[in-house]
Amino acid sequence: MSDEQLQENIENYMYAVNDIRNSINVIQGEKYIENHKKTLLFSVIDLLAKGVYGNRLGNKRTDMFEKFILEFCEWENAERISLQQLVHLLDKTEEGTFLRLKDFAKTELHKYPDCQPVPFSYDPTYEQLKELMPRGVTNILRVELKSLNHVSLLWKLRNSLVHEARAKGATQLFDEEVEPHYIHYSVLGKDSKTGLTLITESWEMYHPVGFLNKMIDNALHNVKNYLEAHEINPRDNHDFDPLWIEVKKEKNQH
Protein backbone atom coordinates (compact mmCIF):
# COMPACT_ATOMS: atom_id res chain seq x y z
CA MET A 1 0.00 0.00 0.00
CA SER A 2 1.36 3.41 -0.97
CA ASP A 3 1.80 6.25 1.50
CA GLU A 4 -1.03 8.11 -0.21
CA GLN A 5 -3.41 5.14 0.10
CA LEU A 6 -2.50 4.65 3.75
CA GLN A 7 -3.10 8.32 4.51
CA GLU A 8 -6.44 8.20 2.74
CA ASN A 9 -7.48 5.09 4.68
CA ILE A 10 -6.56 6.70 8.00
CA GLU A 11 -8.41 9.91 7.19
CA ASN A 12 -11.50 8.03 6.00
CA TYR A 13 -11.46 5.91 9.13
CA MET A 14 -11.18 8.90 11.44
CA TYR A 15 -13.94 10.71 9.54
CA ALA A 16 -16.22 7.67 9.85
CA VAL A 17 -15.58 7.35 13.59
CA ASN A 18 -16.29 11.03 14.17
CA ASP A 19 -19.40 10.79 12.01
CA ILE A 20 -20.69 7.93 14.19
CA ARG A 21 -19.95 9.96 17.32
CA ASN A 22 -21.79 13.01 15.96
CA SER A 23 -24.82 10.89 15.06
CA ILE A 24 -24.97 9.68 18.68
CA ASN A 25 -24.98 13.21 20.09
CA VAL A 26 -28.05 14.27 18.10
CA ILE A 27 -30.20 11.38 19.29
CA GLN A 28 -33.23 12.65 21.19
CA GLY A 29 -35.29 11.01 23.88
CA GLU A 30 -36.61 11.40 27.38
CA LYS A 31 -35.94 9.56 30.62
CA TYR A 32 -33.03 7.31 29.66
CA ILE A 33 -31.48 9.26 26.78
CA GLU A 34 -28.33 10.17 28.70
CA ASN A 35 -27.66 6.52 29.55
CA HIS A 36 -28.20 5.54 25.92
CA LYS A 37 -25.78 8.20 24.69
CA LYS A 38 -23.13 7.09 27.17
CA THR A 39 -23.53 3.47 26.12
CA LEU A 40 -23.03 4.38 22.47
CA LEU A 41 -20.12 6.74 23.18
CA PHE A 42 -18.39 3.94 25.07
CA SER A 43 -18.74 1.84 21.92
CA VAL A 44 -16.94 4.60 19.98
CA ILE A 45 -14.06 4.42 22.45
CA ASP A 46 -14.00 0.63 21.97
CA LEU A 47 -13.97 1.15 18.21
CA LEU A 48 -10.98 3.49 18.35
CA ALA A 49 -9.12 1.17 20.71
CA LYS A 50 -9.65 -1.74 18.31
CA GLY A 51 -8.37 0.40 15.43
CA VAL A 52 -5.17 1.09 17.34
CA TYR A 53 -4.41 -2.26 19.00
CA GLY A 54 -6.22 -4.83 16.89
CA ASN A 55 -5.69 -8.22 18.54
CA ARG A 56 -2.29 -7.40 20.02
CA LEU A 57 -3.68 -7.55 23.55
CA GLY A 58 -5.60 -10.77 22.92
CA ASN A 59 -9.08 -10.89 24.42
CA LYS A 60 -8.20 -8.74 27.42
CA ARG A 61 -10.81 -6.08 26.76
CA THR A 62 -10.32 -4.53 30.19
CA ASP A 63 -6.61 -4.04 29.51
CA MET A 64 -7.28 -2.62 26.05
CA PHE A 65 -9.88 -0.15 27.35
CA GLU A 66 -7.75 1.12 30.23
CA LYS A 67 -4.55 1.25 28.16
CA PHE A 68 -6.34 3.24 25.46
CA ILE A 69 -7.79 5.75 27.93
CA LEU A 70 -4.37 6.30 29.51
CA GLU A 71 -2.47 6.56 26.23
CA PHE A 72 -4.84 8.54 24.02
CA CYS A 73 -7.55 10.36 25.99
CA GLU A 74 -5.49 12.79 28.08
CA TRP A 75 -7.47 12.26 31.28
CA GLU A 76 -5.18 13.63 33.97
CA ASN A 77 -7.14 12.18 36.90
CA ALA A 78 -7.52 8.70 35.45
CA GLU A 79 -5.13 7.05 37.91
CA ARG A 80 -6.20 8.87 41.07
CA ILE A 81 -7.90 6.64 43.63
CA SER A 82 -11.57 7.30 44.35
CA LEU A 83 -11.76 8.31 47.99
CA GLN A 84 -15.50 7.65 48.01
CA GLN A 85 -14.99 4.07 46.85
CA LEU A 86 -12.09 3.58 49.25
CA VAL A 87 -14.25 4.61 52.21
CA HIS A 88 -16.98 2.16 51.13
CA LEU A 89 -14.42 -0.62 50.89
CA LEU A 90 -12.80 0.18 54.23
CA ASP A 91 -16.22 0.15 55.91
CA LYS A 92 -16.34 -3.57 55.12
CA THR A 93 -13.09 -4.35 56.96
CA GLU A 94 -12.82 -5.41 60.58
CA GLU A 95 -12.43 -2.75 63.27
CA GLY A 96 -8.79 -1.71 63.63
CA THR A 97 -7.71 -3.05 60.24
CA PHE A 98 -6.03 -0.41 58.08
CA LEU A 99 -6.61 2.11 60.87
CA ARG A 100 -4.27 4.79 59.48
CA LEU A 101 -5.85 4.51 56.06
CA LYS A 102 -9.37 4.64 57.51
CA ASP A 103 -8.62 7.79 59.50
CA PHE A 104 -7.05 9.47 56.49
CA ALA A 105 -9.82 8.53 54.05
CA LYS A 106 -12.72 9.64 56.23
CA THR A 107 -10.96 12.84 57.31
CA GLU A 108 -10.16 13.81 53.72
CA LEU A 109 -13.62 12.95 52.41
CA HIS A 110 -15.12 15.14 55.13
CA LYS A 111 -13.12 18.07 53.68
CA TYR A 112 -14.80 17.82 50.26
CA PRO A 113 -17.16 20.79 49.77
CA ASP A 114 -20.73 19.52 49.85
CA CYS A 115 -22.42 22.42 48.05
CA GLN A 116 -20.66 22.14 44.69
CA PRO A 117 -19.47 19.48 42.24
CA VAL A 118 -16.18 18.03 43.48
CA PRO A 119 -13.81 17.10 40.62
CA PHE A 120 -11.73 13.94 40.84
CA SER A 121 -8.60 16.08 41.17
CA TYR A 122 -9.48 16.20 44.90
CA ASP A 123 -8.80 12.47 45.15
CA PRO A 124 -5.44 11.13 46.38
CA THR A 125 -2.83 9.37 44.27
CA TYR A 126 -1.93 5.72 44.63
CA GLU A 127 1.47 6.70 45.99
CA GLN A 128 -0.12 8.78 48.77
CA LEU A 129 -2.34 5.93 49.90
CA LYS A 130 0.32 3.25 49.59
CA GLU A 131 2.29 5.00 52.34
CA LEU A 132 -0.67 4.46 54.70
CA MET A 133 -1.10 0.77 53.89
CA PRO A 134 0.50 -1.94 56.05
CA ARG A 135 3.99 -2.75 54.74
CA GLY A 136 3.92 -5.08 51.75
CA VAL A 137 0.11 -5.01 51.45
CA THR A 138 -1.49 -3.73 48.23
CA ASN A 139 -5.07 -4.98 48.63
CA ILE A 140 -8.02 -4.64 50.98
CA LEU A 141 -10.33 -7.66 51.24
CA ARG A 142 -8.54 -8.98 48.13
CA VAL A 143 -9.42 -5.82 46.23
CA GLU A 144 -6.29 -4.23 44.81
CA LEU A 145 -5.96 -0.58 45.74
CA LYS A 146 -5.23 0.29 42.10
CA SER A 147 -8.57 -1.16 41.03
CA LEU A 148 -10.20 1.83 42.76
CA ASN A 149 -8.60 4.26 40.34
CA HIS A 150 -10.90 6.20 38.05
CA VAL A 151 -10.00 4.51 34.78
CA SER A 152 -10.86 1.12 36.32
CA LEU A 153 -14.13 2.51 37.69
CA LEU A 154 -14.94 3.94 34.26
CA TRP A 155 -14.68 0.39 32.91
CA LYS A 156 -17.19 -0.68 35.58
CA LEU A 157 -19.57 2.08 34.47
CA ARG A 158 -19.16 1.03 30.84
CA ASN A 159 -20.01 -2.58 31.66
CA SER A 160 -23.02 -1.62 33.75
CA LEU A 161 -24.43 0.40 30.86
CA VAL A 162 -23.53 -2.04 28.08
CA HIS A 163 -24.54 -5.27 29.81
CA GLU A 164 -27.31 -4.17 32.17
CA ALA A 165 -28.65 -0.92 30.62
CA ARG A 166 -28.18 0.94 33.90
CA ALA A 167 -25.81 3.63 35.08
CA LYS A 168 -23.89 3.62 38.33
CA GLY A 169 -23.62 6.65 40.59
CA ALA A 170 -25.45 9.96 40.60
CA THR A 171 -27.79 11.58 38.12
CA GLN A 172 -27.16 14.97 36.55
CA LEU A 173 -27.36 17.90 38.95
CA PHE A 174 -24.98 20.59 37.61
CA ASP A 175 -25.88 21.40 34.01
CA GLU A 176 -22.66 23.07 32.88
CA GLU A 177 -20.18 20.55 34.26
CA VAL A 178 -18.13 18.57 31.74
CA GLU A 179 -15.55 17.03 34.07
CA PRO A 180 -16.60 13.96 36.08
CA HIS A 181 -17.27 14.79 39.71
CA TYR A 182 -18.77 13.81 43.05
CA ILE A 183 -22.20 14.98 44.19
CA HIS A 184 -23.09 15.16 47.88
CA TYR A 185 -26.48 13.96 49.11
CA SER A 186 -28.17 14.46 52.50
CA VAL A 187 -31.29 12.44 53.24
CA LEU A 188 -33.55 13.18 56.22
CA GLY A 189 -35.24 10.36 58.06
CA LYS A 190 -36.37 9.18 61.51
CA ASP A 191 -35.06 6.44 63.76
CA SER A 192 -37.90 3.92 64.18
CA LYS A 193 -37.00 3.27 67.84
CA THR A 194 -36.09 6.69 69.20
CA GLY A 195 -38.05 8.90 66.82
CA LEU A 196 -35.01 11.11 66.44
CA THR A 197 -34.37 12.82 63.11
CA LEU A 198 -31.42 11.31 61.25
CA ILE A 199 -29.40 12.73 58.41
CA THR A 200 -27.77 10.18 56.10
CA GLU A 201 -24.96 11.62 54.01
CA SER A 202 -23.37 10.09 50.93
CA TRP A 203 -21.18 10.93 47.95
CA GLU A 204 -21.92 9.68 44.44
CA MET A 205 -19.85 9.85 41.25
CA TYR A 206 -21.21 11.36 38.07
CA HIS A 207 -19.70 11.14 34.56
CA PRO A 208 -21.28 13.66 32.14
CA VAL A 209 -21.88 12.87 28.48
CA GLY A 210 -19.64 15.86 27.74
CA PHE A 211 -16.75 14.12 29.49
CA LEU A 212 -16.93 11.13 27.15
CA ASN A 213 -17.10 13.48 24.17
CA LYS A 214 -14.05 15.36 25.44
CA MET A 215 -12.09 12.12 25.72
CA ILE A 216 -13.15 11.08 22.22
CA ASP A 217 -12.06 14.49 20.87
CA ASN A 218 -8.62 13.98 22.41
CA ALA A 219 -8.47 10.41 21.17
CA LEU A 220 -9.42 11.31 17.57
CA HIS A 221 -6.49 13.71 17.36
CA ASN A 222 -3.99 11.46 19.11
CA VAL A 223 -5.02 8.26 17.34
CA LYS A 224 -4.67 9.87 13.92
CA ASN A 225 -1.14 11.02 14.77
CA TYR A 226 -0.27 7.56 16.15
CA LEU A 227 -1.58 5.68 13.11
CA GLU A 228 0.33 7.97 10.76
CA ALA A 229 3.55 7.80 12.75
CA HIS A 230 3.45 3.98 12.96
CA GLU A 231 2.04 3.48 9.44
CA ILE A 232 -0.95 1.50 10.71
CA ASN A 233 -4.05 0.99 8.59
CA PRO A 234 -6.81 0.80 11.24
CA ARG A 235 -9.07 -1.15 8.89
CA ASP A 236 -6.62 -4.04 9.12
CA ASN A 237 -7.44 -4.31 12.83
CA HIS A 238 -11.13 -4.97 12.15
CA ASP A 239 -12.78 -8.09 10.79
CA PHE A 240 -14.59 -7.52 7.49
CA ASP A 241 -14.93 -11.21 6.58
CA PRO A 242 -18.50 -12.00 5.46
CA LEU A 243 -18.26 -15.15 7.61
CA TRP A 244 -19.37 -14.02 11.05
CA ILE A 245 -17.71 -16.93 12.89
CA GLU A 246 -13.95 -16.87 13.28
CA VAL A 247 -12.16 -19.90 11.85
CA LYS A 248 -9.41 -21.16 14.14
CA LYS A 249 -6.15 -22.13 12.49
CA GLU A 250 -4.65 -25.57 13.09
CA LYS A 251 -1.63 -25.58 15.39
CA ASN A 252 0.67 -26.72 12.59
CA GLN A 253 -0.62 -24.03 10.22
CA HIS A 254 1.44 -20.90 9.73
Closest CA to 206 of 26, 63, 38: 38
d(CA 156, CA 134): 27
Q: What is the pLDDT of residue 254?
A: 53
* 121-135: average pLDDT: 96
Q: What is the pLDDT of residue 45?
A: 98
* 155-166: average pLDDT: 96
| pTM of this structure | 0.91
Query: Is residue 123 predicted with pLDDT exceeding 90?
Result: yes
d(CA 122, CA 59): 34
Contact 203, 182 (CB under 8 A): yes
Residue with more model confidence, 191 or 63: 63
Q: What is the pLDDT of residue 57?
A: 86
- Kindly indicate the confidence band of residue 253, based on its pLDDT and cuts at 50, 70 and 90: low
- Kindly indicate the confidence band of residue 172, based on its pLDDT and cuts at 50, 70 and 90: confident
Q: What is the pLDDT of residue 201?
A: 85
